[in-house]
């Protein structure tokens, strides 16, 4: 079960690792809302039969009879078979929402076109240096919510001391990190900032009492490099590595 504590009016829900159910790895920010449990079908479990077994195993490890959200881990392998299995669990009421992770607009559109239950979420690398402008345009068009993994870019490119974020943050008495989160929220991106430190969690929540101006947003938009800071799913070497673990 999730660990819960209160910071002001907010309840903090720790997301937990399937294999270590008491170890917090993510924090879900909500205001008086119930906790959410979510997981993924990993690429090594791609395909209809393996995905079904994986989902059952996830339910068992998380000690629950349903999932709020289930995502496909990567856009490689037999993800069509994986998605068919997810649709069956959705229809059976064991999953409340299904989606994908790391799908570019091209792969998303292909899967969306041939799916019965449309993907509700696409979790992709999204931060001020990779703003996913094209992906956001198409996800919005097809009613899919973009969710950011790595909203702080894991500190790459000096995000926490970036002069643009720092100067804008000073106007509102906020940190560069808080300014980066606020930018994503105002860009209609769901964020799940990772932290196990209570003080950092407080800061991550304290982003709802100010609004960036159009000028602020434009200045931060200019930071976008349009490329991953980690790896590209279009790089043949990356694809070769994923294929090597299947």
Per-residue pLDDT tens digits for 8-22: 544 454 555 566 544
- In the chain, the percentage of residues whose pLDDT exceeds 70 is 85
- What is the C-alpha separation between 152 and 48, in angstroms, rounded? 34
Q: What is the DSSP string of 158-217?
A: GGGG-HHHHHHHHHHT--HHHHHHHHHHHTT-EE------HHHHHHHHTTSS----HHHH
- What is the C-alpha separation between 166 and 216, in angstroms, rounded? 11
CA 120, distance to chain mean position in Å, is 12
Q: Distances in Å between the alpha carbon of 14 and those of 44, 48, 186, 191?
A: 26, 30, 24, 14
Per-residue pLDDT, 16: 55
Q: What is the DSSP string of 70-131?
A: EEES-S-SSHHHHHHHHHHHHHTTSBS-EEEES--HHHHHHHHHH-SS---EEEEE-BTTB-
Q: Distances in Å between the alpha carbon of 107 and those of 37, 76, 104, 137, 201?
A: 26, 10, 6, 15, 34
Handedness of CA 231, 158, 219, 176 (dihedral sign): positive
Strands of 190-191's sheet in order across: 38-41, 69-72, 98-101, 121-125, 145-149, 190-191
Handedness of CA 118, 184, 25, 65 (dihedral sign): negative
Three-state DSSP class for 44?
helix
Per-residue pLDDT, 226: 95
Per-residue pLDDT tens digits for 194-203: 887 888 888 9
pTM attached to this predicted model: 0.87
Per-residue pLDDT, 27: 42
Per-residue pLDDT tens digits for 29-43: 444 444 568 899 999
Handedness of CA 180, 181, 182, 187 (dihedral sign): positive
Among 125, 52, 126, 110, smallest CA distance to 82 is for 52
């Amino acid at each position: 079960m999730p660990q819960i504590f209160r910071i002001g009016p907010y309840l903090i829900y720790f997301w937990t690792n399937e294999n270590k159910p008491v170890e917090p790895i993510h924090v879900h920010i909500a205001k008086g809302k119930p906790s959410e449990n979510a997981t993924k079908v990993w690429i090594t479990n791609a395909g209809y039969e393996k995905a079904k077994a994986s989902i059952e195993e996830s339910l068992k490890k998380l000690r629950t009879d349903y999932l709020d959200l289930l995502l496909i881990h990567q856009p490689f392998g037999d993800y069509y078979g994986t998605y068919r299995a997810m649709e069956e669990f959705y229809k059976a009421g064991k999953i409340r929402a299904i989606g994908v992770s790391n799908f570019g607009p091209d792969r998303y559109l292909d899967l969306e076109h041939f799916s019965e239950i449309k993907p509700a979420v696409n979790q992709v690398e999204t931060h001020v240096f990779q703003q996913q402008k094209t992906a956001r345009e198409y996800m919005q068009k097809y009613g899919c919510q973009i969710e950011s993994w790595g909203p702080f870019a894991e500190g790459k490119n000096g995000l926490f001391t970036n002069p643009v974020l720092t100067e804008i943050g000073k106007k509102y008495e906020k940190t560069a990190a808080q300014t980066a989160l606020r930018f994503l929220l105002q860009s209609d991106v769901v964020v799940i900032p990772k932290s196990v430190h209570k003080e950092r969690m407080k800061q991550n929540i304290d982003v709802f009492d100010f609004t960036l101006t159009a000028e602020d947003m434009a200045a931060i938009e200019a930071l976008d490099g349009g490329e991953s800071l980690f790896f590209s799913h279009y790089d043949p070497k990356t694809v070769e590595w994923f294929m090597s673990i299947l």
